[in-house]
Amino acid sequence: MAINVKQVEAFRVTMLVGTVTAAAERLRISQPAVSRLLSQLEGKTGLKLFIRSKQRLHPTPEAILFHREIERSFVGLEALERAASNIKSSTSGTLRIAAVPVVSTAFLPRVLAAYRRRHPDVSVSVQTRSSAVVTDWISASDYDVGFATGGQTMMNLENAVFASVPGVCILPPRHRLASKKVIVPQDLEGEEFISSDTGQLSRIVVDDAFRQAGVRRLTHLDASFSSAIASMVSYGLGVSIVSPLAIVDRNPESLVVKKFQPEIPFAFSILYRKDVPLSLAAKSFVTVMRAEMAAAFGEKHLLPLPQIN
């Protein structure tokens, strides 16, 4: 028979604590059982491991060398056990996130702050790209989870609306409409209006709301990122309607934020591979993000998600 784990463990613990009695207590077995295991190990290895003198065990030089090799093996096993435990509890590993600017530039840092408090040892990589690029990256498994506004449908992708929040009207400080509780299209007649890029879904929806109301705005400025639009508004360059995600941690002195009617929904979707199970770290991130969305905007704006593998 080969050396077995019980024999090695009895030897290792005896070397650590110095006596058979203490080893028996540590292993929760009888002293005769420990002695028997040590004797069996000596028989299997052909090594004299202990010299017995005055009811004490004195390790031989061979025992010291053998113990050193065993400790190397146990260090490796303990490292694997710790790694498995960390993976199981989502406290280590990597998480790769791809997101459109409206999600990544303001709201995602807030989510990551909460996530890192729970999982400080997870390495997180965040990339900001357009919906089309995010979709391609998730489809190719370059990233674990993505957030996009729209994005094309692919057979291997889950593309589900994560949340939909009503757009808000943002005004410069001390604007003439700053005292109004609710802004309507007619209030912005003749105002310099900072739009999102031509072709973006949000631009189309916002323009349509003013077209239906018969309201004419001045539209000399546009920008790709909602965060850039918010900065332009804060400098008095105009007004705008943006997703509240883009200004979630704004300085209240630099920007006036008002409810806008009719309600213009700003939605974004979560993307992940259908055929590749999400890691525990990614699942935990999704849970944290939903909690932060609920805290910031209310649970009514969250949409139910498909079952995540």
**DSSP class per residue in 253-299:** TT-EEEEESS--EEEEEEEEESSSPPPHHHHHHHHHHHHHHHHHH-G
Which position has the higher pLDDT, 279 or 256? 256
Q: Give domain status of residue 124, yes or no.
A: yes
Q: Is residue 45 part of a domain?
A: yes
Out of 88, 108, 126, a domain closes at 88
**272, 138 Cβ separation under 8 angstroms:** yes
The identity of residue 223, as a single letter, is A
Separation CA 290–CA 70 (nearest Å): 47
Q: Are residues 123 and 59 in the same domain?
A: no
Q: What percent of the chain has pLDDT over 90?
A: 53
Same domain, yes or no: 215 and 227: yes
Check whether residue 148 and residue 284 sit in a common domain: yes
**143 and 197 fall within a common domain:** no
pLDDT of residue 76: 59
How many other C-beta atoms lie within 10 A of the C-beta of residue 238? Answer: 22
Domain match, 15 and 151 both: no
258 domain residue, yes or no: yes
For residues 251 and 132, membership in a common domain is answered with no
Higher pLDDT, 76 or 20: 20
In a domain, 307, yes or no: no
In this structure, are 187 and 144 located in the same domain? no
Residues 17-23: contacts with CB under 8 Å, at least 24 apart: 18/56, 18/57, 19/56, 19/57, 20/57
**Could you please report the per-residue DSSP string of 218-265?**
EEEEEES-HHHHHHHHHTTS-BEEE-GGGGTT--TTT-EEEEESS--E
pLDDT digits (tens, 9 = 90+) for 175-222: 999 999 999 999 999 999 999 988 788 899 999 999 999 999 999 999
* Contact between 272 and 309 (Cβ < 8 Å): no
- CATH number of domain containing 32: 1.10.10.10
The domain total for the chain is 3
Structural domain harbouring 188: 168-263
Q: What is the pLDDT of residues 165-174, one digit of tens each?
A: 999 999 999 9
Element (H, E) at 196: strand 192-196
Residue 116 CA to residue 122 CA, distance in Å, equals: 8
Pick from 44, 59, 88: which residue ends a domain?
88
Nearest 5°: the CA angle 33, 34, 36 is 65
Instruction: Give domain status of residue 306, yes or no.
Output: no
Say what angle helices 31-45 and 20-27 make with each other, to 10 degrees.
Answer: 100
